[in-house]
């Protein structure tokens, strides 16, 4: 019987803003004078380099960044270093933008919950089902949940940079199950990554995958979790 649910963060419960929105917000804050064509071109380069955390991965990863990329979620320092380096690969109009772009993605304004996130978490709480957020990430996402008024619906956060372990390593899922006080076979893992999130299966956790889509194209995929909990 399913008594707990682990959720991934990015692409599962929340979605990062688009590259154009991300860049536009930082450029406006910096007071830079860029034309629409210049902004579009820069956004295109940032997309290719995969510089937006939570966005699409690099289309062609430079060889000198391969090691840092593989281990980017093991610490806050590695995470920042990886993504600011990718941003600099995009020939930014100002060198300072790389750090500003990184800082922007850590703000609550840069993230939108999926339409059914709150309703699903609230329904699980009503059923007495424990919830953990398990994320490969290099910064503290708790303020995002607080600012979007869903923090009270989460029982535990297990973040890779705080544990020095990243999914699909079973150790991160084990830490979450321990925090919930439940055996793995009673904890469902819900995520969007068929490698990282499916790693929970090695512990005996059931796994349910959703598509990593923009919020307006995925209105109710999380509601299926409620049926899986009832069936389990």
Domains of the chain and CATH, by start: 4-15+111-231 (3.40.50.1000), 17-109 (no CATH)
Task: Tell me which H or E stretch contains 76.
Answer: helix 76-88
Count other C-beta atoms under 10 Å from residue 39's C-beta: 16
Strand 4-7 and strand 130-135: the pairing is parallel
- pLDDT 10s digits, 17-42: 999 999 999 999 999 999 999 999 99
The per-residue pLDDT for 232 is: 64
Ranges under pLDDT 70 in the chain = 232
The per-residue pLDDT for 95 is: 87
The per-residue pLDDT for 231 is: 78
- pLDDT 10s digits, 37-80: 999 999 999 999 999 999 999 999 999 999 999 999 999 999 99
The per-residue pLDDT for 173 is: 98
Strand 207-209 and strand 187-191: the pairing is parallel
């Amino acid at each position: 019987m399913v008594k707990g649910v682990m959720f991934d963060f990015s692409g599962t419960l929340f979605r990062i803003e688009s590259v154009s929105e991300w860049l536009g917000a930082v450029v406006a804050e910096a007071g830079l004078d860029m034309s629409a064509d210049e902004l579009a071109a820069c956004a295109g380069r940032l997309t290719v380099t995969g510089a937006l955390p939570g966005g699409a991965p690099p289309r062609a990863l430079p060889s000198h960044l391969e090691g840092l990329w593989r281990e980017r979620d093991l610490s806050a320092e590695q995470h920042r270093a990886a993504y600011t380096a990718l941003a600099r690969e995009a020939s930014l109009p100002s060198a300072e933008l790389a750090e500003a772009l990184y800082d922007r993605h850590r703000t609550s304004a840069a993230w939108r919950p999926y339409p059914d996130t709150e309703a699903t978490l609230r329904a699980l709480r009503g059923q007495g089902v424990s919830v953990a957020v398990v994320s490969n990430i290099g910064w503290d996402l708790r303020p995002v949940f607080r600012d979007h008024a869903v923090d009270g619906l989460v029982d535990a956060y297990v973040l890779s940079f705080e544990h020095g372990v990243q999914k699909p390593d079973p150790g991160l899922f084990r830490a979450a199950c321990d925090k919930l006080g439940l055996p793995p076979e009673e904890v469902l893992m819900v995520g969007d990554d068929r490698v990282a999130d499916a790693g929970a299966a090695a512990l005996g956790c059931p796994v349910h995958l959703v598509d990593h889509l923009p919020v307006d194209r995925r209105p109710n995929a999380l509601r299926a979790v409620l049926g899986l909990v009832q069936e389990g």
